[in-house]
Structure 1
């Protein structure tokens, strides 16, 4: 049973969107604390941060499409 739980945990860790990990890296705090605060905030506000989480996940997954491409200048050569 413990192996199954460990397998499920690893599955979600590898394939999650990484929003909490991204915030943790940007803010310099542990990812587990970001997840915990997100869970508490979701319960307190009746799940409204879930919409924000999904929007952020979308942008993080597709951020290569949203980056502005700059034209090379003489200083880039």
Structure 2
């Protein structure tokens, strides 16, 4: 069970800070610290936002891959 949870985190949620850092031109480490500190202060609510953003980014990448495959034909 723990291995499945770690695999999920590695696949879906760790690209969020990188995406936000590149998008808003902010240091990735500052964004990670922001999520960590606000998670402790607000009892985990930013983690829900973080997971949701990871899922949305994954869906976005999936749609882009499908469009490039469709245009190859």
TM-score, with structure 2 as normaliser: 0.63
Relative contact order, higher structure (CA 8 A, sep 6+): 2
Runs of 4+ aligned residues of structure 1 deviating over 2 Å after TM superposition are 12-17, 64-67
Task: Show structure 2 runs of 5+ residues with no match.
Answer: 1-8, 65-73
Contact 2:12 2:55 in 1 (8 A): no
C-alpha RMSD of matched pairs (Å): 2.6
Contact 1:17 1:61 in 2 (8 A): no
TM-score, with structure 1 as normaliser: 0.60
1:48 is displaced (CA, Å) by 0.7
